[in-house]
């Protein structure tokens, strides 16, 4: 197997060895050997409650009587076996309802992940698609005739990536990034996250002390960088600030910084306050996830001057910090403690229904197995916890990863979900939860989104049979042009493609349309990438265009649910000024 396939593979792929084919023979030590003091303390708190391996067709699988899939009750993060009743091939058919394709652009992203954002320059709209090992910029002014105008890093095709990329040695990359207009600079500004490596480095923190130490002394920034955009292309950008999220040691050099760095794309709309997902130091270690060392909380930063970001506060919830008795006691009360599987802490920054500069006073936190939180942002620099919601465990996979607040101002409801990390439905199904947060002090789950089902013409009755991962990923980003649309919500759903939900009545959501792409052919992409299917969606609500990001490329889609798509720039320049 080429080296590049190991080092660029996401957790989804690493967890499911079957996805990599017969050549996957990575040796991972099995003997418990914990030397790091924070991990030792975490391990000593609990005993091993990792779920046992399950037998396909016996412990879970298709019900012959109903044609429905009975999901496992609990599984570990790891290899995901096939089960009786699955297809013995990759489905080559596309399914659609109320959605049409405008254009398809192959080999734009990697098959593992993509962070999207857009910005307008000189009467044109540019889309930025990137992960740590690549950056692509497209001119999407005409979505039917998009052009790649900047490309850096590996391009994927049938032989894999065109470039090797070693996660252990990378020193500079763009993580999740946010573009916003700065009133002070009178320019667009990029804030890019730089975090500790999550993929292709560590497999088991209890058996690989040498790699744990490598991550403690990580050879790249743990923090964020700020760039002044003097044009649409990265070659036009000027670095104006670099900060570490290690707030106790803000002058620590690379290799000596503690914590995680900034996860995902920062929550910043160009005003004074920016919110990050970050663990500030290595004591934030109360998490079961086998290949991650931290339980991230949140940070607030003052961005009045983008060239001089100032740390304001750290938000920590109970159950995150080793060595703190109250935190450890809370952690031990969590039924996930000891399962060696669950992600604990945030994966994304605070979710804001309205920027604080425009009068927003509420924020929401999706903190994995620690639950769902509401925060009072009346004093934006010091978020105050208001309410908390716990749900029964659902692992493997992540829990409370994403929160969609696009309908909150209208309805008082928020939608939240985790997503699958094992393939072949080898974990409980991840529902999209409807949360009544009209009283932020007392959020309640009042409904779930309907589970997508295949159309009648499909040769399977449940998407679990289609192979690969099945379940919700995310509904886009908080920086989509036009922000959102009342009553309509698209989700990337892995092997179920794009699913569009009618949420006019949040307590009774319905599937209003879908677009499920065919799997690629071997001459288009290697088959070990197919598990990830469609893993991201980005919607231009101001132009009525949905971009579906899949393993083999990106698709521009249209639907009457949004209205006729528009070409060129119409209305407000994006990102908005002021």
Task: Please report, for the domain that includes residue 495, its CATH number.
Answer: 2.130.10.10
- Both tokens of 474, joined, read 């995310």
pLDDT at 416 over 70: yes
Is 318 within a domain? yes
Rounded to an integer, what distance in angstroms lies between the CA atom of residue 146 and that of residue 103? 9
- Distance from C-alpha of 156 to C-alpha of 527, rounded to nearest angstrom: 12
What CA–CA distances, in Å, run from 283 to 39, 205, 517? Answer: 9, 15, 44
pLDDT digits (tens, 9 = 90+) for 302-354: 999 999 999 999 999 999 999 999 999 999 999 999 999 999 999 999 999 99
All residues at 6 or more sequence positions from 285 whose CB lies less than 8 Å from its CB, including other chains: 38, 39, 41, 42, 293, 294, 295, 321, 322
Q: Is residue 22 assigned to a domain?
A: no
Q: Token match 């909150």: residue?
A: 408
> Which residue, among 118, 121, 283, 291, has the nearest Cα to 204 in the 3D structure?
291
Q: What is the pLDDT of residues 357-380, one digit of tens each?
A: 999 999 999 999 999 999 999 999
Confidence of residue 570 (pLDDT cuts 50, 70, 90): confident
Neighbours of 251 (CB within 10 A): 8
Confidence of residue 406 (pLDDT cuts 50, 70, 90): very high
pLDDT above 50 for 7: no
C-alpha distance from residue 63 to each of 423, 458, 470 (Å)? 19, 18, 18
Q: What is the mean pLDDT of residues 494-522?
A: 98
What span, in angstroms and rounded, lies between the C-alpha atoms of 576 and 548?
Answer: 24
3-state secondary structure of 144: helix
Strands (E), 82-236: 95-97, 100-106, 115-121, 124-131, 134-139, 147-153, 156-157, 160-161, 177-182, 187-194, 223-229
Distance of alpha carbon 416 from alpha carbon 475, whole angstroms: 10
Strand, coil or helix: 12: helix
H-run or E-run covering 13: helix 11-15
Does 19 have pLDDT greater than 60?
no
Distance CA 94, CA 538 (A): 20
* pLDDT of amino acid 62: 96
Structure tokens at 71: 């999901």
What is the mean predicted confidence (pLDDT) over 93-103?
98
Q: How many domains does the chain have?
A: 1
Q: Which string of DSSP letters, residue by residue, matches 512-567?
A: EEEEEPPPPPTTTS-GGGGGG-EEEEEEETTTTEEEEEETTEEEEEEBTTTBS---
What does the alpha-carbon distance between residue 218 and residue 296 come to, in Å, rounded to a whole number?
17
The answer to the question of residue 569 being in a domain is no
Looking at the DSSP bridge assignments, the partners of residue 224 are 193, 243
Residue 172: pLDDT band (50, 70, 90) is confident
Provide, rounded to the nearest whole percent, the portion of the chain with pLDDT above 70. 96
pLDDT of residue 255: 95
Show the tokens assigned to 491. 């989700």
Say what the pLDDT of residue 296 is: 98
pLDDT at residue 18 is higher than 80: no
pLDDT value of position 23? 36
Q: How confident is the model at residue 24 (pLDDT cuts 50, 70, 90)?
A: very low
The answer to whether residue 108 sits within a structural domain is yes
pLDDT digits (tens, 9 = 90+) for 117-158: 999 999 999 999 999 889 999 999 999 999 999 999 999 999
Q: Order of strands across the sheet with 297-302? A: 263-267, 273-278, 297-302, 310-315
SS3 call for 235: helix
pLDDT band at residue 75 under the 50/70/90 scheme: very high
Residue 225 lies in a domain: yes
In terms of Cβ atoms closer than 10 Å to its own Cβ (0-12, 13-18, 19+), residue 44 is: exposed
Q: Which residues of 166-181 are buried (b: 16+ CB within 10 A; e: fewer)?
A: ebeebeebbbbbbbbb
Confidence band of 26 (pLDDT split at 50, 70, 90): low
pLDDT value for 94: 98
508-528 per-residue burial string, b: 16 or more CB within 10 A, e: under 16: ebebbbbbbbebbeeeebbeb
pTM of the model as a whole: 0.95
Tokens of 393: 């465990």
Give me the mean pLDDT over the 452-465 stretch. Answer: 97
Per the structure block, which two tokens stand in for 450?
């309907």
88 within domain boundaries: yes
Q: What does pLDDT average to over the chain?
A: 93
Could you read off the pLDDT of 124-133 as tens digits, one per residue?
999 999 998 8
Q: What is the domain range of residue 452?
A: 37-154+162-562
Cα gap 523→404, rounded to integer Å: 37
- Tokens 């990050």 identify what position? 276
The band of 200, judged by pLDDT with boundaries at 50, 70 and 90, is: confident
Report pLDDT for 132: 87
Half-sphere exposure of 311 (CA within 13 A, CB side): 20
What is the 3 state secondary structure string of 442-455?
A: CCEEEEECCCCCCC
Using CA atoms, how far residue 510 sits from 142, 450, 487, in Å, is: 31, 6, 10
Question: Residue for token digits 């000189």?
Answer: 122
Token pair of 97, please?
Answer: 């309802």
Give the single-character DSSP code of 61: E
Residue 3 domain flag: no
C-alpha span between 184 and 38 (Å, rounded) = 42
Residues 99, 498: contact at Cβ < 8 Å? yes
Left, alpha or beta for 504 (phi > 0: left; psi -120 to 50: alpha)? alpha
């Amino acid at each position: 197997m080429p080296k590049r396939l190991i080092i660029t593979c996401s957790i989804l792929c690493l967890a499911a060895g079957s996805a990599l084919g017969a050549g996957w023979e990575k040796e991972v030590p099995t003997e418990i050997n914990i030397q790091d003091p924070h991990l030792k303390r975490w391990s000593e708190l609990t005993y091993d409650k990792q779920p046992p391996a399950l037998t396909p067709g016996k412990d879970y699988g298709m019900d012959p009587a109903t044609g429905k899939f009975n999901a496992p009750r609990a599984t570990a993060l790891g290899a995901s076996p096939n089960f009786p009743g699955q297809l013995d091939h990759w489905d080559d058919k596309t399914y659609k309802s109320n959605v049409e394709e405008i254009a398809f652009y192959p080999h734009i992203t990697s098959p593992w992940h993509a962070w999207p954002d857009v910005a307008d320059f000189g009467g044109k709209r540019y889309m930025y698609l990137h992960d740590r090992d690549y950056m692509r910029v497209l001119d999407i002014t005409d979505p039917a005739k998009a052009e790649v105008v900047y490309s850096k890093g590996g391009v994927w095709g049938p032989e894999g990536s065109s470039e090797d990329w070693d996660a252990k040695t990378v020193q500079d990359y763009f993580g999740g990034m946010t573009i916003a207009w700065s009133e002070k600079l009178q320019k667009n500004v990029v804030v890019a996250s730089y975090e500790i490596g999550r993929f292709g480095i560590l497999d088991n923190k209890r058996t690989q002390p040498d790699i744990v130490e490598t991550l403690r002394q990580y050879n790249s920034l743990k923090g964020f960088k700020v760039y002044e955009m003097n044009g649409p292309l990265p070659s036009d950008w000027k670095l104006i600030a670099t900060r570490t999220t290690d707030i106790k040691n803000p002058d620590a050099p690379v290799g000596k910084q503690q914590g995680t760095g900034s996860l995902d794309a920062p929550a910043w709309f160009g005003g004074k306050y920016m919110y990050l997902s970050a663990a500030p130091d290595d004591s934030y270690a109360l998490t079961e996830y086998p290949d991650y060392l931290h339980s991230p909380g949140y940070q607030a930063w003052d961005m009045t001057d983008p060239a001089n970001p100032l740390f304001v506060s750290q938000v920590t919830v109970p159950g995150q910090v080793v060595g703190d008795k109250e935190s450890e006691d809370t952690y031990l009360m969590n039924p996930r403690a000891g399962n060696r599987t669950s992600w604990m802490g945030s994966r994304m920054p605070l979710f804001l229904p309205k920027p604080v500069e425009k009068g927003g006073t509420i924020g929401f936190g999706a903190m994995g197995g620690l639950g769902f939180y509401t925060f009072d942002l009346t004093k934006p620099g010091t978020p105050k916890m208001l309410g908390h919601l716990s749900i029964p465990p659902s692992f493997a996979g992540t829990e409370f990863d994403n929160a969609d607040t696009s309908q909150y101002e209208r309805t008082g409801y928020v939608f939240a979900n985790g997503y699958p990390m094992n393939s072949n439905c080898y974990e409980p199904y991840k529902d999209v939860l409807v949360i009544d947060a009209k009283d932020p002090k007392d959020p309640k789950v009042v409904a779930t989104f309907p589970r997508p089902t295949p159309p009648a013409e499909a040769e399977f009755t449940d998407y679990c049979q289609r192979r690969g991962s099945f379940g919700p990923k995310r509904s886009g980003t908080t920086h989509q042009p036009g922000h959102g649309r009342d009553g309509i919500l698209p989700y990337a759903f892995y092997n179920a493609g794009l699913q569009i939900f009618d949420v006019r009545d949040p307590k009774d959501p319905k599937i209003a349309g879908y677009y499920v792409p065919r799997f690629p052919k071997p001459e288009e992409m290697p088959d070990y990438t197919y598990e990830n299917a469609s893993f991201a969606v980005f919607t231009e609500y101001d132009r009525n265009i949905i971009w579906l990001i899949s393993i083999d490329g990106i698709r521009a889609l249209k639907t009457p649910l949004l209205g006729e798509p528009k070409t060129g720039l119409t209305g407000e320049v994006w990102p908005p000024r002021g």
